Structure 1
Amino acid sequence: MSRVAPLDLLDLDNSLTDEERQIRAVVRRVVDDRVRPHVAGWYEQGHAPIRELALEFGRLGLLGMHLTGYGCAGSSAVAYGLACLELEAGDSGVRSLVSVQGSLAMFAIWRYGSEEQKRYWLPPMAAGEVIGCFGLTEPDHGSDPSAMTTRARRDGDDWVLTGGKMWITNAPVADVAVVWAQTDEGVRGFVVPMDSAGVTVGEIRNKMSLRASSTGEIVLDDVRLPADARLPLAVGLKAPLSCLTEARQGIAWGSLGAARDCLRTAIDYAVSRVQFGRPVAGFQLTQAKLADMAVELQKGYLLALHLARLADAGTLRPEQVSVGKLNNVREALEIARQCRTILGANGVSGEYPVLRHANNLESVLTYEGTSEIHQLVIGQKLTGLSAFA
């Protein structure tokens, strides 16, 4: 009997435009050529060629692709989501590079920066010549950014920043950071060149997850910045939170890529692996697992597509993004774990991508808001009552 790919079960390609399918095909090819042959080694070594990948992605227009002007492609939210799906089918760390660059660092400057800041930073960032990071999370303040202790004080016409940020993707290789700090007027954002005096970065090693991503700690020791380093339109905590909402859209898509890659691997393995005289795929328990995972993958895809269409229409709300991030990452992780069981002992081998995806998704489950945070966001919208405090 003929077989269909997991995402072909419901003919979901019919819901895409020709342009969206073309963009997906381009990203899939670059992942097949530049990521898949090497990513197992990057993961084992705990190092990936971030700068080389950034330049490659910049040439393809993937960095800040959903932003307009300043060298950005101006693609739709759906096209951006499909790109994230294909990137994370290669590896979550590779997709994180693109997400942090475009949806956090570049988006913050694009949305809240001055015209001068946009012209100076965005074109080289879109080209992958300048790498950015996003400094919000602190060693003692993750889910509660309102309690951040990093401070910015005025000193004449300058700003002086003191504090520290932790678990910052791209930090060890970044040229610029968007750093959020408390001021006498509330939370404000600053564009901080990483070669500024007083900035030091330590790479976080011994990670068991996202090993093909570069993660670091940023220490700010009386970092003096000119007045025009502040993002003029970023006022209050809503500014960095809006950047997180932007990034979560890509995560809702990207996690499906990891899940799809796991499911494809498990199906191919089960069809070829013979036990008790027949392929493992021919057993009812295996088919039940595969069917359940395929159904969840279709549902997650339809959810991500719906949210992206809302984003393109300008009607997407933050709590809707929380639904996408909560559901799709949670289900993707469960799919990865189930696929591991189908591969048996081979499921823990680096020869197959399944456990690497599962390990990566453990981080994806936590960053850009833990599952518990998104549950509370949704619960608050349903009840009108806040359970955060």
Structure 2
Amino acid sequence: MPIVVQKYGGSSVADVTRMRQVAERVMRTRRAGHDVVVVVSAMGDTTDELLALAKQVSPNPDRRELDMLLTAGERIAMALLSMAIRELGGDAISFTGSQSGIITNDRHVDARIIEVRPVRVQDELAGGKIVVIAGYQGVSYRREVTTLGRGGSDTTAVAMAAALGAEYCEICSDVDGVYTADPRVVPDARRIGTLSYEETQELAESGAKVLNAQAVEFAKEKGIAIYARATASPLPGADPSADGTVVRRSPPRLPGAVAGVASERDILVLESTAPVVDVLALLDTHRVAGKQLHAAHDDRLTLVISRENLHEEPRLRAALLERFGGRVALVDDLGAVSVVGAGINASFENLRRGTSALAAEGIAHRDVATSSFRITWTVARNRLDEAVRLLHRTFLEP
């Protein structure tokens, strides 16, 4: 039978009732003639609650021990979902990331998948079982438990789909696809039927929460189609984009056409006049990943840092102050808003339109960064939602 990999997010398994609904959907997939592999996230806000507990014990918890703690959430969810499927008559078995063959590097808290060895998964599928896998986690070559960072369950699902030669990978959540903007911020946002890998990855890296950027990168590399859908939606039919978003290799939009607007609220902006190589070396020591880097010949440096996987901010601030004094500052009252589309910078027109629209409403930008798929403005956080709505009207509303 063809293999389907389904991933269910934390909101989809937040309580027993929703867990049973997921189990029913898994069984419908099985009855439709598929072998089913399910990747599950921790229930509801479990990961955040565990992280908060850790920080009550230690403001800067050890990364290895943090991984040991945080992976408990997915292990609980995988076992409960397996039980729920069995109650419906399915033959299910649950595996941790290591048991399912997810091999990562040894970078605790934000590891990357190196390879997948799904031998046990394949054996159980061959025996007719539904396999439930704990997302977000793996094991290093040193046999250490690791986690993949926020949204890592998406990456688990796509990597497993590629390793198994799955027909497709479903990413199921409480949102029915990818929208032109966050509907909570822009009520007129529209669901996008089809996106290219490149557009989706840029939206994810710009703050869109439906799909994980690393998962999309993996899907692009392996040629795996992703269906982003609501958990309550039916199974994919003749037109899978009818009630979700399909991410795959697709013809590019017209050069300069905007696919969507995304924003990132929880960022730090590092501004430095200290030697660039020294600042970057210290950031690397603290495993800080940055983006939108601007460096000048006179050592002026601006770098946007996402707080999402920054678990040691107090320690980082102290280290920067001790090493560089007042030459390095971390500004934390800013947000980033991006417009994304293929060939968006084929000319300066889109940059001009966006900057002019913001200026007309008195929204000053502290910085602007461009790439072939994205234009990003850094603005005051208290005007970020306003900027998102304004750019959506400018580029996506007739």
Q: Where is the helix percentage greater, Structure 1 or Structure 2?
A: 1
1 or 2 for the larger relative contact order (CA 8 Å, sep ≥6)? Answer: 1
Indicate the TM-score class for this superposition, using the shorter chain for normalisation. Answer: under 0.3
What's the TM-score once normalised by structure 1's chain length? 0.26
